[in-house]
Structure 1
Amino acid sequence: MCFNTAGNWNQSPDNLVVNVSTAYLDANQEKDFSAGVNAVWQRIGLGYIFAANDIKQYKPTTSTDNLDSADSLGKGKYKIHTVNASYLISNVMDMDNFNIYLGSYWSHLSRDENQGGGSDNRYGARVRFKYFF
């Protein structure tokens, strides 16, 4: 769902645009929920996402999947809080159909006590080149 300060559904860059989203997955041996909100104003975006995952069974897809790694989720219950930020550089090289998006995020992952507890911080950045044909 999206709404902006102009009072309509148009996502004009001159207005404050607020997006709200939620998702739920009830699959075999796994249940996931996420909810998020983000706002974009004058090419600057800021968002927050909450996720709760309950993975009852995990089958590695390759022999190189390492379930003992700190980067691997494996089975168990998790709560994940993510904050993200972005910036739009529009009309690169004076081309109205070429934009660059800069983005970054920080996530805090908490494991259920039955899985050994603990938490991890994860972070990253990206550069996205978008050309409209």
Structure 2
Amino acid sequence: MERNDAASDRHSPDGRSAFERFVEATYMQVSRAPFFVVCLVVVVAWGASAPLWPNLKEWQVAIHTVASVVSLLLLVLLENAGRRSEEASQEKLNVLAEALASLMESSAARDPELQEATRRLREAVGLEERH
């Protein structure tokens, strides 16, 4: 049976790429309170620096540019982390559905209604297409 990335990663010593490890480490840091505090400190420092800038337009452009770049990078990293998490969850659900379908098939010989339910389960999750 061919495994997808989520299942393969679980069975390898550390089958993740450097990028995947970076994404996970970043996700763990930005989802905690200290990252929010750092962001808050940056915003307060930016606000306090207004008198130091000769032109307020440049002052606004500076924070907007930095915020846009950081937001874009974090969005990409967090979407990647979310996609990997969804793939892992889907693989677990597929394994559960496959086990349930196999269990139902073993009992279906005695119950015609169970045969139909098994067929609908396999069709709904596409079990035949995966193998």
**Aligning the two structures, in what range does the TM-score lie when normalised by the shorter sequence?**
under 0.3
- Give the TM-score normalised by the residue count of structure 2: 0.22
Please identify the structure whose Cα radius of gyration is greater: 2
- Give the TM-score normalised by the residue count of structure 1: 0.22
* More strand per residue: 1
Q: Which has the higher contact order (CA 8 A, sep 6+)?
A: 2
